[in-house]
Structure 1
Amino acid sequence: MAANKESSEANLLLRLATIKDLDVLEALELSCFETDRLSRRRLSFWIKAEHGILVLAEKAGEVLAYGLVILRKGSRSARLYSLAVRAEARGQNIASDLLLKLEELSVEKQRLFMRLEVAEDNLSAIKMYKKLGYHKFGIYRHYYETGADALRFQKSIQQSTVADSMRFYPWYKQTTEFTCGPSALMMAMKYLNSDTRFDQTTEIDIWRHATTIFMTSGHGGCHPLGLALAAHERGFEVEVYSTQVNDLFVDGVRSEHKKSIMRIVEQGFIEQASELGVQVHKSEIYMSKLEEALALGWGVICLISTYQFDGKKAPHWVAITHADERCLYLHDPDGSEGFYSESGDRLDASNRADVGESEDIDLDYQHLPILKEDFASLSVFGKSKLRTCLVVKPRTAGRKTAGRKTAGPKNS
């Protein structure tokens, strides 16, 4: 389908922006917004970005509006990041025509949902979004530079309904590149018990309890049994589903010495899980069982391969938050704009605290819609085709909790 389109408004042309439009885009941004502006550099970036759609509304050769949608790789959702209409052009349905065009282009990119944030006092915009079929499903306090709250809206642009049935599910951003497992587990535990701590101390402590010591490079990842034991220690009941429990990540390690240490740690996990009565199913969790666990309000975390997200075949833990007829929804703890230091400063890939003008795209990592047929290929890792998942439940009355038992050598 052609990117250019004549809208229902006479002589209004909707087209993709090019780098030649940068000057007029910058002027439009400055005239429409006093705060939360996109810089010239970022506008240039989004014009050229493969994971962005930037469309202009033009009449008689004059650009009157633009809309920017961000597409996250591996997800079926799109996010309306910015929508700007010149003051003199408002009231002409340009914004709604522009948004419908962005929805159309997002569908062509195989997206199922459009999401957006809007200031709660922007009543005209809220009215337009509702008229176009958007439904409120959340709120973020003090989201804008002005201190205003942001309402979150969502629309199924391929005629599925989910927003109204979503329950609140807490999201936690991992603070290191190797603590996705603890972060996913913390989300599930917080969902079940609001008293669960959301802090880096808890995150690192769980990692020390669950780590396999080594990975292909860098710090070790988290074993499903190690995470299950960490959850058990914190008062939860856990069922582990795993197609294998031995030699989970050794294929990625070349050193025989490191492999031997990983096997010692793994055997410790196995023995301790048996001693504490942690249920371990040596099979994958089938979709019907996974959906049943979610329907019962239990927490579910799963190991996936990140290949569909970033082209890297790395193991990565996520929390599964919801399910409907077509999709599963994921909370991914790994936002793409870097990690955080102990003082809370956002870091870039080089661990520098100044990352410049990075968009706050953490929202794009919450309730990510994944088609169920896509999840089948997403949730398999490594040469052994490992599939593993944890179902986390509130502790049944009468079950005893044992203290921690060292499962092998760890850093002191």
Structure 2
Amino acid sequence: IGDRLLEAAEAAALERDCVSMRLEVRRDNPPSLNLFRRHGYRQFKEVLDYYEDHMAALRFEKRLVPQIQLALVKVPYYQQTLEFTCGPAALMMAMKALDPMLELDRKLELRLWREATTIFMTSGHGGCGPYGLALSAYRRGFDLEIYVNEDGVFLVDSVRSLEKKEVMRLVQEDWIEELRQLPVTLHCGSLGVDELRQKFEAGGIPLVLISSYRIYGERFPHWVVVTGFDDHYIYVHDPLVDAEKGETVTDSVNMPIPHREFQRMARYGKAAQKAVLILYRSQRRPELPTLF
């Protein structure tokens, strides 16, 4: 009966577009522990003194969506090392997919952040906008397309100070002026999942700006890199690993997101700003060869 109930619960979760299940079990309950382990659940945390009799609880998780075939996964994984370097980390993964000789390390992560930072964001260090990341990719010899749904200042909703907003505007204006002097395609519009898939299958590696609220419950802009598709899910590498919630790298690699859910999260701020970068291989020599 326990097996059938668990299978029914997993099926109901999948119908609701849930990609994983979490549960907790008393540490002194071997039959239940064996049941969940037999069905592929992994323990990720122990909570001491959890129940009324002070028994500990073991927390388990299972990904309900199968991993995509390894043959389709061509994007290596790199975990961001700072809370504001998701953009550089996502860009590094995309560049590595197109140039296997590229070495991914923290020096490159911080260098890319310095090149592409918006200076300010929320109450801490600035993140990275699409134009700065695009310039960093171009300088390293990659071709790319930029898709934005408006010409306003990106991520400006993340700050309140008028002075900070003005600094962000000037930084973006400078990036755009530089991009207009380069053979970089800048589109005013957005891409749906089907269009992203076409770009991916043509050899492009998409970086997508999302709102993290639907994943982490907090409203901050976040960059992910697309790693694959199937008829129901888009798969992404999320450079953030939320260790405080018991997550590991496995949770962030090839993260499955339902198509409809991805469409809703691929925007940020009150203005619902959308940004996508598509990186491609190029025969052009890098302008910064010493960075490799």
TM-score bin, normalised by smaller chain: 0.7 to 0.9
Percent identity over the alignment is: 36
Aligned residues: 260
Provide the C-alpha distance between the structure 1 equivalents of 2:145 and 2:85, rounded to a whole number of angstroms: 21
Aligned-partner Cα distance in 2 for 1:362–1:167: 16
Q: Structure 1's 38 and 301: CA in aligned 2 closer, same or farther, altered over 3 A?
A: closer
TM-score normalised according to structure 2 size: 0.79
Match of 2:196 among 287, 290, 293: 290
CA displacement at 1:44 relative to structure 2: 5.2
Amino acid at match of 2:191: I
What is residue 177 of structure 1 aligned with on the other side? 83
Cα distance in 1, alignment partners of residues 249 and 50 from structure 2: 17
The reply to whether residue 267 of structure 1 matches residue 173 of structure 2 is yes
What residue is the counterpart of 1:347 in the other structure? none
Question: In structure 1, what is the Cα distance between the partners aligned to 2:174 and 2:23?
Answer: 58
Greater RCO (CA < 8 Å, at least 6 residues apart):
2
Alignment equivalent of 1:42, drawn from 46, 67, 75: 46
RMSD value, Cα: 3.2
CA distance in 2, matches of 1:242, 1:46: 48
Structure 2 distance, partners of 1:359, 1:167, is 25
The residue matched to 1:302 in structure 2 has which SS? Answer: strand
Aligned CA distance change for structure 1 residues 244 and 164 (closer, same or farther; 3 Å): same
Matched letter for residue 80 of structure 2: Q
Cα-to-partner distance string for 1:47-73 (whole Å, 9 max, x where unaligned): 9xxxxx97xxxxxxxxxxxxx741xxx
Give the 5 Å matches for 1:29-68: 42=46
Please give the secondary structure, in 1, of the residue aligned with 2:79.
Answer: coil
Higher helix share: 2
Structure 1: how far apart are the matches of 2:242 and 2:185? 34
Task: Indicate the residue corresponding to 2:237 in structure 1.
Answer: 331
* Counterpart pick for 1:305 among 211, 219, 234: 211
- Tell me what 1:196 maps to: 102
SS of equivalent to 2:46: helix
Task: Provide Cα deviations, 1:135-186, integer angstroms capped at 9, x if missing partner.
Answer: xxxxxxxxxxxxxxxxxxx5xxxxxxx4365234200000000000000000
When residues 248 and 45 of structure 1 are mapped into structure 2, their CA distance, relative to the original with a 3 A threshold, is farther
Q: Distance in 1 between matches of 2:107 and 2:178?
A: 24
Q: Residues 89 and 109 of structure 2 are in contact (CA less than 8 Å); yes or no, is this contact kept in structure 1?
A: yes
SS of equivalent to 2:231: coil
**Structure 2 stretches lacking a partner, 5+ long:** 5-21, 52-56
Residue 186 of structure 2 corresponds to residue 280 of structure 1 = yes
Does structure 1 retain, via aligned residues, the 8 Å contact 2:241–2:247?
A: no
Task: Tell me, in whole angstroms, the C-alpha distance in 1 between the residues paired with 2:212 and 2:84.
Answer: 13
Quick one: distance in 2 between partners of 1:402 and 1:267?
22
Match of 2:224 in 1: 318
Aligned to 1:75: none
Instruction: Say if 1:375 and 1:195 are closer, same or farther in 2 by CA, change over 3 A.
Output: same
Q: For residue 309 of structure 1, report the CA deviation from its aligned partner.
A: 1.1
1:22 match = 27
The one-letter code of the counterpart of 1:391 is I
SS at match of 2:263: helix
Measure, in 1, the Cα distance between the counterparts of 2:49 and 2:148: 42
249, 255, 259: which one aligns with 1:368: 255
Please, what TM-score do these two structures have when normalized by structure 1? 0.57
Q: Residue 87 of structure 1 corresponds to which residue in structure 2?
A: none
Larger radius of gyration: 1
Residue 241 of structure 1 is aligned with which of 139, 147, 157? Answer: 147
Measured in 1, the distance between the counterparts of 2:167 and 2:2 equals 65
Deviations 1:233-274 (A, max 9, x none): 111011000112431122221211111111110011100111
Deviation at 1:400, TM superposition (A): 6.7
State the alpha-carbon separation in 1 of the partners of residues 3 and 164 from structure 2: 63
CA deviations 1:171-204 (Å, max 9, x no partner) are 0000000000000000000001111121000001
C-alpha deviations, 1:45-102, integer Å up to 9, x for none?
A: 999xxxxx97xxxxxxxxxxxxx741xxxxxxx33xxxxxxxxxxxxxxxxxxxxxxx
